[in-house]
Structure 1
C-alpha cells in the first residue's frame, strides 16, 4: 500500500494529501474529466452559438463593465427563454451530465484506489471500470437525490408554516421562530447528508449497494470533521470559480468564450473535489476497516 494512505489523517493532512495527489497525477485526473465531460461543454458552446450568443464578446449596455454584464445577462435570459430549441438542448445537456458526471467521479475514485494500492492503471481502464458500475451508481444516485429532496422540502414547508403562523400572532416572534427552525434544520440536514454522502464510494467499489448503511458506519465520530472538509472544499471551489468568472467576464461579457473558460475551470475544481472525496473515503476506510493492519498480516504470512 502507498505509505500516504496507510495511516489515519487529520483535517489538514487530508487537504494537503488532496492537493499533492491532484498535482502529481494532474494529467490522469484531468484527462478523465476531459474525455467524459469535455464533449458536454463543447455541445453547450455549439448550442450557445446557434442561439445567437457571440463567441468572443457580448456587449450589453452601460457605462462600466459590471453594468454591461448585468445588461447582457438580462438579454441572454430573455433570448434563451424565447428559444425553444436552445432550451431543449440545455435539457439534453443536463441529462447527459447527470449520467456522465458520476461516471467521471467513479473513474477518479478507481484511479486513486489504484494509487493507494501501488497498482498500475491507465485512464482508459479506470473509465471502463467506472462504466461497469453504471447502473448501481445511477440507481443509488437517484435514491440519494430523492432523500435530499425530502430533507430539503420538508424543512422548507415546516419553517414556512411556523413563520406564517407565528407572524399572525406576533411578527417578531414569528421571524425569530423561523430563523431558529431554519438553523436547526440546516444543521440537521447537513449532518444527515454528511453521514450518507459516502454511499457513492461503497457502490463504486462494490462494498455495498445502495451504500447508505456502510456510509453511516464509516462516518461515525467523524461527521463534523467531514462536514468541515466539505465546507472548505466548497469555499475553495466557489472562490476559484467566482474569481475566474468575474475577471474574464469584465472583458468578455457573457460570451461563448467566457463559458468555455469557466467550464475548463470547472473541470479543474471538479477534479480537486473528486480527489478530496476519494481521500476522505479511504481515510474513513482505514480507520474503520483497519486496512493497514490487514496488509501487515498478509505481508507477514508471505514471509
Structure 2
C-alpha cells in the first residue's frame, strides 16, 4: 500500500486507489470521524428530542426546525423562548462542527502520510497530531473561506450590474451576454478553488501555512485533472447522500432516527472524500518533489 502511495498516479488510478484504501482502512478512518464528529451529531439528536421531534417517525408536514421557526415568526410575529433556545443550540452545533471537522480530516491525512512513510500510526496518535495543527488550520480555513466569498460575490455583483445595464439598453444582448459570463465565472471559480484548495494538506503536514502559495505550485499542470476528480467525488457523494436521505425521509419522516441515519452516511461519504483528498495531495507532493529533484540535477 505504501508503494502505491509513493508513485505518481493518473486520473483513474487515483479514483481506484482511493476506494481501495478507504475500504482497507475504513474502520480506522471511520473511528476518527466518529470520535471527533460523532458527539456533535449526538448533541444534534438530543436537541431534536428536546424540541419535541419524534424519535422513530415524524410527519413531513412538521418540517425542519428552521421551517417551524420561520412559520412561527410569520404567524405570530414572536418567537417562543424554547424556539430561541433550539436555534441557539443548532448554531452552537454548527460552530463546533466547523472547529472539529477539519481536525478529523487532518487526522486522516496524517494517518495516510504515515502509511506512505511505512511508519506505524494509530487512531489516537493521528488525532493528537491533528490537534497540534488546530490553530494553523483554523486560521487557514478562515482565510480560504474569505477568499472564496470574495471571488464569488464581487464578480457576481459586477457582472449583474453590467448585464443589468445592457438588459435595459438592449434586452436581448443583456440576456445573451449574461449566460456565457456566468458560465465563465463558474469555470473560473472551480479553477481557482482547486488551485488553492490543497492549502489544507500543506498546513496539516507542516509544509507551509497558510499554504495557498504551495497549493498553487503543487497543482501546476494538474489543475483540470484535479477539477475532474473533485467533480467525480462530489457526484458520488451527492448520489449516495441523496438516495439515503430520500429513502430515510419517506420511511421515517423528519424524525430523530432519520437524522441519525443521514448523519452516519455523511460520515461514510466524508471518509471517501477525505481519503481521496489525501491521495490527491500526496500525489501532487510526489510529483512536485520529483520535479524539484530533476531541476536540481539539471543545474549540475
Fold conserved (TM > 0.5)? yes
Kindly state the Cα deviation for residue 6 of structure 1 after the two structures are TM-superposed: 2.2
Kindly state the Cα deviation for residue 164 of structure 1 after the two structures are TM-superposed: 1.3
Within a 5 Å distance, the mapping from 1:40-119 to structure 2 comes to 40-59=40-59, 69=60, 71-73=61-63, 76-81=65-70, 82=79, 83-119=83-119
Q: Which runs of 4+ in 1 moved over 4 A?
A: none
Please tell me the root mean square deviation across aligned C-alpha atoms, in Å: 1.7
1:213 equivalenced with 2:213 (yes/no): yes
- 1:128 corresponds to: 128
3-state SS of the aligned residue for 1:290? helix
- 1:4 corresponds to: 4
From the superposition, tell whether residues 58 and 145 of structure 1 become closer, same or farther in structure 2 (CA, over 3 Å). Answer: same
Kindly state the Cα deviation for residue 99 of structure 1 after the two structures are TM-superposed: 0.4
- 1:298 corresponds to: none
TM (norm. structure 1) is 0.90
- Separation in 1, partners of 2:138, 2:166: 42
Q: Which deviations, in whole Å up to 9, do the C-alpha atoms of 1:202-259 show, x marking residues without a partner?
A: 1111111110111111000000000000000000000000000111111101111101
3-state SS of the aligned residue for 1:126? helix
Within a 5 Å distance, the mapping from 1:196-207 to structure 2 comes to 196-207=196-207
- Separation in 1, partners of 2:93, 2:18: 29
- 1:227 corresponds to: 227
- 2:76 corresponds to: none
- Separation in 1, partners of 2:127, 2:38: 14
- 2:281 corresponds to: 281
- Separation in 2, partners of 1:117, 1:138: 26
- Separation in 1, partners of 2:208, 2:195: 15
Structure 1 unaligned segments of length 5 or more: list them. 60-68, 295-303
3-state SS of the aligned residue for 1:187? helix
Kindly state the Cα deviation for residue 76 of structure 1 after the two structures are TM-superposed: 4.4
- Separation in 1, partners of 2:69, 2:122: 41
Structure 2 unaligned segments of length 5 or more: list them. 71-78, 295-300
TM (norm. structure 2) is 0.91
Q: Which deviations, in whole Å up to 9, do the C-alpha atoms of 1:117-171 show, x marking residues without a partner?
A: 1111110100000000111111111110110110111122022212211211122
